[in-house]
Structures are given as structure tokens and as C-alpha cells.
Structure 1
């Protein structure tokens, strides 16, 4: 069993959210820059060998951003697997009020079944 400070869980959760947001922002900025390059190159009457090289580099950069984002996703899977072996158990850090003890309108056994759908197996997360 892994043992770590429970106070680190919300910090780690927030840092993970920020890392994903930063990766998304980088991809968005790259895409916006690519669109600007396309528009500028179209009016500049550049030869195809120049634009092909330029466009290929921009696409390669976007792919690398996506690969970095995928690495973050894999790290999240590993952290989820670690959390399952922790005495603290999985936490619903993204819920501002925490996970409800009872889902409104459901019987107890239905609520338990619904709750278990949130306990993801890290190997099944895409």
C-alpha cells in the first residue's frame, strides 16, 4: 500500500487540471498560428515548396502537442492506479460539494450502482 500526505491530493488534482489546460491552450495557439500562416501565405504568392515545408512543420508541431497531452493522460492513469493502492482511497476532487452520499430520486442500491460507475479502472480509461 502506498502512503502519502492526503493534503497533496487537491494540489495534485489542480496541477493536473492546469497541465491539461496548458496543453490545450498550446494546441489552440498553434492552430490559430497555423490559420494565420495559411492566410498570409495565400496572399504572399509563395512557391509550393516553401508553403509545403512551412505547413508540414506546423502540423508536426501540433502532433507533438497532442503527444505531450497523451503523456499527461497516461500519467493520470498511473496516478489513478496509485490512488487505488492508497489508504486514502479515490477522491472525487472535481466535485465542489464532494460526491453525494445519495443520488436524488434513487433507491440506496441504485445509488451504490451509479456511484461504482465513477470508480474507473485505470486500464479502461481512454
Structure 2
């Protein structure tokens, strides 16, 4: 285990309203949300920890898992291999596949980069 992705749990159905009302992009605030399942999202934008800054990579050194602890779901980042001092932590964001018009470019720089996050 490397770190838990911490933040406030919100319902998926409120995710976009929550974002647009509280964290307007014009305010210059980044959005750090991680989907737990079809119903809940962890928002780490204002009340998260350093896990929110872990970047995507097509060849990551970590992976994420949702684990259940005493009836509560937690997102935990685990190491895939030994991670060396000063090495950036990365995991595959595994965004849902979208059609060509909604593709998000990937700039991870990995040898086998897929070129898109979704």
C-alpha cells in the first residue's frame, strides 16, 4: 500500500452539479475526483491528500483498488513494483472508452503510450 485517495464522498448523480456550483473552472481550481463505483465519487479537490496529484501513465508503477473496510469503501493506491526514491508515482486512470470526438490526449511519455486516456 502506498496511499489512500482521501476526500469527500459525494453521490455520482450530484457530481456535475457539485463541480459546477462549488468549483467553477473560472476560479482556477483543479478538479480531483475519483469514481468509487456507479453511485459514489471521492472529491479530493478541497479536502484531499497528496494522492490527488498522482498522474496517469500507460506504463504505471502503481494501481488503484476500491477496498471495503468495516462497510465503508476506500480507494487505495498500491505499488506494482519497487518504487525508487525520487520516482514519480503513476497509475492508469482507466477512463471509460469514448468516441473519437471525446478523446483525451495522453502525454505520459511511456514507451508504449496508448495516446489517449479514454
What is the TM-score when the length of structure 2 is the normalising length? 0.21
Q: Which has the higher contact order (CA 8 A, sep 6+)?
A: 1
Higher strand share: 2
